[in-house]
Amino acid sequence: MSAPLVDVRNLVKHYPGERAWLGLGRPRRVVRAVDGVSFAITPGQTLGLVGESGCGKSTVGRTILRLQEPTAGQVVIDGREVFTLGARELRALRRRMQIVFQDPYSSLNPRMTVRQTLREPLAIHRLAAGAGADAKVAALLEEVGLDSRLARSYPHELSGGQRQRVGIARALSVEPAFLVCDEPVSALDVSVQAQVLNLLMDLQQQRRLTYLFIAHDLAVVKHIAEQVAVMYLGKIVELAPAAELYLAPRHPYTRSLLSAVPVPDPAAQKQRIVLTGDVPSPASPPPGCPFHPRCPHPKKNQRCRTEVPALRAVVPGQLAACHFAEEPM
Ligand code: ADP
Ligand code: MG
């Protein structure tokens, strides 16, 4: 196996909490958005990072690219330690790692044409200028399946799918090796989602890209990810090759998420597990297993309320953070 392109060790990101009204003098409640996350991604492969809204996925994506400063942890991308780089080295590494955002409308400058949007990173990184830059813009548009005449358009003149293709072209313009795709299809019409997913998969093949692909539901990453990590309240609760995770999930949270995915074959219909209760706040996570207040596992007991389960190999290659990961549900 080749060395990972992306190696994340014990990543922590805490935000200072809001001071409550009339709470003067009381300590702020720290928001533990990311609380000790580790994973590695093999070159050319995709890790799917999945979990409900607010569990810390975007914070992981932004922090490993150092768009936000970490609280603790270590990240190595392309052989370089991201958190210790100086400004100049970080700028050089920025070319190698890019992000595609969920909402291409708010991530594109409304006053810039597609051509200007795509020329900007080329100028910043001194990759092309003048006619060379325009040729590059045309090639990028073709690569993401857009008519080169759209170069003169503004974001509001484009459809959601076209805007996301521009966002992808912008990320690709500097020839990165690693892309964080932060829910890149969540804001798109269902009919367009598959097209954009297919485009991302084709681009990965052609350019041998490595992806961290963030989604809030397991169905989206099923066909794109070799490995899947499931997050809950700032922690990875299950990490496994996609084939194993979808066939035999080990964490009760993964099992509940999967039971909510519609199954086309009625004979294979699983029993649905309905999660009750809301996700607790990352400013006051429950003691013990963070999932225990909502956990439907029949073996759930006092230990779950007091002892934090370690993320451990349940079977070789499949990690889960549950005291009862071996027990059927
Ligand atoms: P996700 O992408 O999984 O929806 P986020 O990473 O955006 O989750 O957020 C994780 C947690 O951190 C949430 O509770 C969110 O409210 C909090 N959070 C995110 N960004 C900030 C910020 N800049 N300041 C304070 N809290 C934040
Ligand atoms: Mg997010």
Per residue in 249-296, pLDDT tens? 999 999 999 987 665 555 555 567 778 778 889 999 999 999 999 999
Degrees, nearest 5: CA angle 26-29-31: 165
Token pair for 244: 């194993």
Determine the distance separating the centroid of ligand 1 and the alpha carbon of 35, expressed in angstroms: 12
- Pick from 48, 40, 101, 97: nearest CA to 224: 48
| 217 contact partners, CB below 8 Å, separation of at least 6 | 50, 257, 261
The CA distances from residue 8 to 40, 96, 98, in Å, are 6, 16, 16
Maximal CA-CA distance, the chain? 69
Confidence of residue 36 (pLDDT cuts 50, 70, 90): very high
Structural element, H or E, at residue 32: strand 31-41
Q: Is 40's pLDDT higher than 70?
A: yes
Q: How far is the CA of 233 from the centre of ligand 2 (A)?
A: 13
Quote the pTM value.
0.94
Is the CB of residue 41 below 6 angstroms from any atom belonging to ligand 1? no
Complete DSSP assignment for 117-184 = HHHHHHHHTT---HHHHHHHHHHHHHHTT--GGGGG--GGGS-HHHHHHHHHHHHHTT--SEEEEEST
Instruction: Please identify, by atom number, the ligand 1 atom nearest to the C-alpha of residue 62.
Output: 6
3-state SS of the chain: helix, strand, coil percent to 5? 35, 20, 45
- For the Cβ of 282 lying below 6 angstroms from any atom of ligand 1, the answer is yes
Decide: helix, strand or coil at residue 266: helix
Q: What does each C-alpha distance from 33 to 49, 62, 120 come to in angstroms?
A: 15, 12, 32
Q: Report how far residue 168's alpha carbon sits from residue 174's, in angstroms, rounded to the nearest whole number.
A: 11
CA of 100 to the centre of ligand 2 (A): 12
Compute, in angstroms, the gap from residue 56 CA to the centroid of ligand 1: 6
Which residue has its alpha carbon closest to ligand 1 atom 14?
Answer: 54
d(CA 173, CA 170): 5
- Which numbered ligand comes closest to the C-alpha of 32? 1
**Contact 54 CB / ligand 1 (< 6 Å):** yes
Cα 277 to Cα 204, 283, 293, 302: the distances in Å are 38, 17, 8, 19
Residues with CB under 5 A from ligand 2 (ion): 58
**What pLDDT sits at residue 275?**
82
- The pLDDT of residue 267 is 58
Burial 45-61 (b: 16+ CB within 10 A, else e): bbbbbbbbebbbbbbbb
Distance of CA 75 to the CA centre of its chain: 15
CB 145 within 8 A of CB 199: yes
**Could you tell me the two tokens for 62?**
């932004």
Which amino acid appears at position 298 of this protein?
P
The pLDDT tens digits for 149-164 are 999 999 999 999 999 9
**Pocket lining: 102 vs ligand 1, CB cutoff 6 Å:** no
* CA 34/CA 13 separation, integer angstroms: 5
Confidence of residue 26 (pLDDT cuts 50, 70, 90): low
* 87 φ/ψ angles, rounded to the nearest 5 degrees: -55, -40
User: Does 197 sit in the ligand 1 pocket, CB within 6 Å?
Assistant: no
Query: Which pLDDT band, with edges at 50, 70 and 90, does 215 fall under?
Result: very high
203/157 Cα distance (integer angstroms): 25
pLDDT at residue 106, as a whole number: 84
